[in-house]
């Protein structure tokens, strides 16, 4: 029993990170129909900028804030310089653009920072906490707390504020939103900033547990994309459920079956889910108009 508890706890922690990355995918997808493969690089940037700002002498909270703000700015730049000029391009071209952006950001990070593994101290020490016979790191609680805050905050933002509703309206129907006076370009900028900031926050929270380096982004992007698809692309609740589910599947596979195939389990489950539910667990069914 403690064994299972241990797997569940680590699965939920990893899952929370996947959920945050998936949420980043979802927000950008809703605003612009683009699947942003550079999403993982935002997580990398969050961690790396915090590490180097901290090395430069800034306290960690300030370094983290700078990292999140800088990453948000990079997200906006990505939208303005690469996504907006390519408006209306086919899906494959947009996928290649964002993969190109991800290679570019990784290349810059490798030159500006270095190729070493980095970490900074956990927020509240490294003494494990006992929960029902299993142990959990205090930092894992920070990850869960952070993810919870982000999801709660976004829920309030999307349902209670005018700006949030404008974003939702744009996601539903771009042209109609434009017709009722919503500045659609501004909504896109906001979405990229928000999504990059969420990715960076995930990077800041998880770096003390997993360490970071210039090349952690690509794996996270694939997992986050998988989680978003598992839940149903474009649905924030789907991102949350998909992320946690993916984390749990990986942890349980690693624990009970085989640790080398934990990544495989995630993709097998996705293939199975898509066979039976071609639009993900929470995906809306749609009809084609001719």
Partner 1 sequence: MINKRLTLLILAVILIASPFFFPSNFYYRIGSLIFVNGLAVTGLVILIGYAGQISLGHAGFAGIGGYSCALLPVHLGLHPGPAAIVGALLSGGIAWLVGRPILRLKGHYLAIATLGFGILVAMVLANEAWLTRGPDGIDVPDLGLNDLLELVGIDLTNSQFWYWFSGLVFLVGAWIALNLYDSPTGRALRALHGSEIAARTVGIDVARAKLQAFVISAIYASLAGSLLALQNQFITPDVAGFMHSIEWVTMAVLGGAASVLGAFFGAAILTTLPQVLTVFQEYEQILLGLVMMLCMIFMREGLLPSILRAVRGREK
Q: Under a CB-based contact definition with an 8 Å cutoff, are residues 109 and 216 in contact?
A: no
Between 65 and 96, CB nearer to partner 1: 96
Name residues whose C-beta falls within 8 Å of residue 151's C-beta, 6 or more positions apart in sequence. Answer: 19, 23, 236, 240
Out of 57, 85, 175, 180, name the contact with partner 1 by CB under 8 A.
85
Answer yes or no whether residue 281 interacts with partner 1 by CB under 8 A. no
Nearest approach in angstroms of CB 92 to partner 1 is 5
Region from 6-14, 49-57, 160-168, 266-274 binding partner 1, contact rule CB under 8 A: 266-274
Q: Please count the residues of this chain forming the interface with partner 1, following the rule CB under 8 A.
A: 46
Which residues, 99 to 138, sit near partner 1 by CB under 8 A? 99-108, 110-111
* 228, two tokens: 């978003």
Answer yes or no whether residue 253 interacts with partner 1 by CB under 8 A. no
Between 141 and 248, CB nearer to partner 1: 248
Q: What phi and psi, each to the nearest 5 degrees, are found at residue 286?
A: -135, 160
Region from 52-60, 184-192, 221-229, 241-249 binding partner 1, contact rule CB under 8 A: 221-229
Q: Under a CB-based contact definition with an 8 Å cutoff, are residues 132 and 2 in contact?
A: yes
Chain center to CA of 87? 23
Nearest approach in angstroms of CB 14 to partner 1 is 18
Q: 3-state SS string over 226-269?
A: HHHHHHCCCCHHHHHHHHHHHHHHHHHHHHHHCCCCHHHHHHHH
Q: CA 267 to CA 3: how far, in whole Å? A: 24
Nearest approach in angstroms of CB 247 to partner 1 is 17
Answer yes or no whether residue 76 interacts with partner 1 by CB under 8 A. no
Between 23 and 270, CB nearer to partner 1: 270
Answer yes or no whether residue 73 interacts with partner 1 by CB under 8 A. no
């Amino acid at each position: 029993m403690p064994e299972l508890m241990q797997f569940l706890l680590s699965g939920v922690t990893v899952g929370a990170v996947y959920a945050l990355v998936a949420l980043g995918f979802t927000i950008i997808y809703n605003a612009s129909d683009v699947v942003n493969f550079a999403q993982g690089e935002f997580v990398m940037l969050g961690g790396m900028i915090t590490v180097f700002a901290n090395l430069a002498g800034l306290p960690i909270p300030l370094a983290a804030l700078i990292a999140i703000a800088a990453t948000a700015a990079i997200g906006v730049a990505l939208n303005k310089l690469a996504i907006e000029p390519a408006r209306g391009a086919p899906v494959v071209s947009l996928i290649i653009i964002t993969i190109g952006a991800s290679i570019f950001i990784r290349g810059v990070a490798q030159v500006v920072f270095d190729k070493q593994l980095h970490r900074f101290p956990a927020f509240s020490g490294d003494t494990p906490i006992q929960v029902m016979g299993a142990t959990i790191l205090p930092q894992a609680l920070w990850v869960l707390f952070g993810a919870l805050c982000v999801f709660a905050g976004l829920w309030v933002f999307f349902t209670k504020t005018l700006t949030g509703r404008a974003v939702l309206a744009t996601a539903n129907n771009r042209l109609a939103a434009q017709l009722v006076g919503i500045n659609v370009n501004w909504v896109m900028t906001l979405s990229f900033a928000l999504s990059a900031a969420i990715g960076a926050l995930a990077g800041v929270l998880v770096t003390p547990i997993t360490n970071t380096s210039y090349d952690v982004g690509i794996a996270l992007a694939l997992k986050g994309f998988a989680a978003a698809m598992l839940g149903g692309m474009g649905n924030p609740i789907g991102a949350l459920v998909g992320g946690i589910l993916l984390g749990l599947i990986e942890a349980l596979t690693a624990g009970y079956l085989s640790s080398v195939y934990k990544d495989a389990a995630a993709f097998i489950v996705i293939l199975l889910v898509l066979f039976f539910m071609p639009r993900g667990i929470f995906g809306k069914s749609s009809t084609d108009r001719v």
